[in-house]
Amino acid sequence: MTQTFAVRMVVDLPPDMDPDARTELLGREKAYAQGWMRSGQWKSIWRCAGEYANLSIFEVEGNAQLHEILSGLPLFPYMTMQVTPLCKHPSDIN
């Protein structure tokens, strides 16, 4: 049985970061994130319109795996996280 979480991630990169370092960092971020999407734990990701932020849905083994995934993000040192544990809603028809 997996556990569902919503995570809102806000990114705050220094504007004067070296462009090459930034490109390399964002490339690693994308590859890392897509790895967890392909293996099925990172179910959804949306851009929050107008912000350098995303809302994501995770289905993981539990709290420890959620932390493993999020703390391993190359952008983790630049992010503020808001984590909400979710479960089935009685009105859900799925």
Site membership for a copy of itself, residue 41 (CB under 8 A): no
CA distance 92 to 83: 21
Site membership for a copy of itself, residue 72 (CB under 8 A): no
Site membership for a copy of itself, residue 89 (CB under 8 A): yes
Site membership for a copy of itself, residue 39 (CB under 8 A): no
Cβ atoms of 9 and 54 closer than 8 Å: yes
Please name which of 4, 17, 13, 3 lies closest in space to residue 80, comparing C-alpha atoms. Answer: 13
Q: Which long-range contacts (CB under 8 A, 24 or more apart) does 63-66 make?
A: 63/3, 65/41, 66/3, 66/5, 66/7
Binding mask 11-30 for a copy of itself (x = CB under 8 A): --x-x-------------xx
Residues near a copy of itself (CB under 8 A) are 1, 3-7, 13, 15, 29-30, 33-34, 37-38, 44-52, 54-55, 61-64, 66-67, 70-71, 76-78, 81, 83-94
